[in-house]
Amino acid sequence: MKRWHSVLIFLVLLVSGIVASVGSYNAASKRVEHDLGEALSLALKVQKSTVITPDTMAVFRENIPVAELRKSSRIVVRAGDNDRLTYSAECSVAAVWGISDQRLAMLFASCAMLWGIICVSFNIKRFGTQCDDCGLFLNEDNGMFYDADGKEVAFTPMQRQLMTLFFNSADHQLSKSEICNALWPKKEDASETLYTLIRRLKPVVEKHSNMQIESLRGRAYRLTPRK
C-alpha cells in the first residue's frame, strides 16, 4: 500500500468522525431548543410580572426533561422595539455537547487513531528491516536510494533494480537465477552481464553505505554488513 493510501484512509476516518460529531451535536441542539422552549412557556404562564423571579426559574428548570441541562439553562430577557420585553431560554454549548450521542464519532476517532498507530508502526518496522545499520534507505514512493545523510545514491537504472530486489528479499539474498530472470527474462545466458553488473555495483554500494555484496560461490549473491 502506498503512503498516500494510508493517509487517505486516515483522513476519511477523521473527517467521518467530525461529520458524525457535528451531526449529533446539531440533532441534540434541536431537541434542547424544543425542550427549553416548552419549559419557558410553562414558566411564563405562572409569572405574574415582567421580572424573572426565583419561582419562575424554579418552574422553568423543573420542566426541563433532561437533568443535565437544568443547572446550565437560563432565561434571557431582552428589550425589543417600544421597550417590549422578549424572553428566550439558553444553555451552554458544553451542556448540549454533553448530552449529544458521540458514540459513532468516538468510534471513527478510535479507528483513525488505531489506523495511525498501525501505519506508523509498519513504517518504523519497514525502515528498520531495510535500513538498520546499513546506511542505505529505499524510498518506496519514488524507488530511489538515499545514503545516511539523505543524499540520493546515483545508481544506474539496472543497478537500482538489483538493489531493490536485494532490499525486498527477506534475507537480502538472491540466487543467480532469480536475478537473471528478473532483470533479463528473455536472455538465455545472462551470466556475464550479471557478473559485470555486480562488479560495477560493488564499489558504489561500499562507498555510500556500510554494506557489501558478497558472492556465494557464484550461485547466489547477498547484501551483508561490511566487515
Residue 124: the pLDDT is: 47
154-194 residue pLDDT tens: 999 999 999 999 988 878 899 999 999 999 998 889 999 99
183-194 residue pLDDT tens: 999 888 999 999
Joined grid coordinates for residue 13: 476516518
| 129 band by pLDDT with thresholds 50, 70 and 90 | very low
Max Cα-Cα span within the chain: 106
For the ranges 67-76, 98-107, 116-125, 196-205, the lowest mean pLDDT is seen at: 116-125
Sequence ranges of the domains in the chain? 3-99, 136-225
Joined grid coordinates for residue 101: 450521542
Share of the chain above pLDDT 70, in %: 92
SS3 (DSSP) at 44: helix
Residue 92: the pLDDT is: 87
31-44 residue pLDDT tens: 999 999 999 998 88
> Which candidate, 148, 141, 188, 133, places its Cα nearest to that of 164?
141
Residue 91 and residue 36 in contact, taking contact as beta carbons nearer than 8 Å: yes
CATH of the structural domain 136-225, one choice from 1.20.1250.20, 1.10.10.10, 3.30.2290.10, 1.10.3720.10: 1.10.10.10
